[in-house]
Amino acid sequence: MHQDVTDLRDFYARPMGQIARRVLRRRIRAHWPNLKGQTVIGLGFASPYLGSFRGEARRIGALMPATQGALVWPSKGDAMSVLVEEERLPLPDNAVDRLLAIHCLETAERVRPLLREMWRVLAPDGRLLMIVPNRRSMWARLDHTPFGHGRPYSRGQLEKMLGDALFTPIDWTYALHMPPFERKFVLRQAANFERLGTRVTPTFGGVIMVEAKKEVMAPIKPGLKVARALPAKGRLVTAGGKPRTIEPG
């Protein structure tokens, strides 16, 4: 179940949320250093991370699930946020160059249809960047941050889900290595925790960030028999392997 949009807004207004936003923004930029002329869409609650692309991307939009609620974003100028149904995104096929999904997958009511919608709207050469709570981390065990709500994931689970939805992971990153405690010492040392955790215990970061590309052709699984024509003998071998006589021409 999605968190309420006001809870998400309030988290990013707190010192811990501000630090989390800075850390994740840097990691997102490392994945996507130049988005000039691109269509960039955020899904879930991505507005805290989309602002840095304004003035660079050709189009930007923040899609916020109806079960979560939506905020007007940005606060000034034309609104770029919209309330959506997860399984019916209001976008045409192949329309998005970069899709950022955060506070999204772990609280989705139905994950498979959501991933299929992501695949549908993403351009053939587009990229999906998904940020989800890491099952191995302390952040997933405490519910005073948004990353402690919903279903946390392991890398293996994400690989399988993405593969089933015709995505191929191309890069993996872990972030938020600071303990999820809003204490002055922890907040002051957040940058040091991040550097140390990245080097020493990288897979224990609070979130997993996976960048994936869209597969246009479905791979053939090992052992699957494919129909093939045998024109010389006038037969067709079906997927089940049983020959069937056909008439020429």
Residues 140 and 246 in one domain: no
The domain containing residue 234 runs over which residues? Answer: 221-249
Residues 155 and 237 in one domain: no
Residues 26 and 146 in one domain: yes
Residues 125 and 240 in one domain: no
Residue 51 gets the label, from left (phi > 0), alpha (psi -120 to 50) or beta, of alpha
Give dist(CA 217, CA 227) in Å, integer: 17
Residues 158 and 209 in one domain: yes
Q: CA Rg, the chain, in Å? A: 22
Residues 6+ apart with CB under 8 A from 61: 40, 41, 42, 80, 81, 82
Reduced to 3 states, what is the DSSP secondary structure of residue 248?
Answer: coil
Residues 141 and 214 in one domain: yes
Residues 196 and 233 in one domain: no
161/218: higher pLDDT: 161
Residues forming beta bridges with residue 84, ordered by sequence position: 65
Q: How many domains does the chain have?
A: 2
Q: What is the pLDDT of residues 35-80, one digit of tens each?
A: 999 999 999 999 999 998 998 999 999 999 999 999 999 988 889 9
> Which DSSP category does 4 fall into?
P
**pTM of the entire structure?**
0.85
Tokens of 5: 């949009």
Of 144, 55, 142, 47, nearest to 104 by C-alpha is: 47
Q: What is the pLDDT of residues 138-163, one digit of tens each?
A: 999 999 999 999 999 999 999 999 99
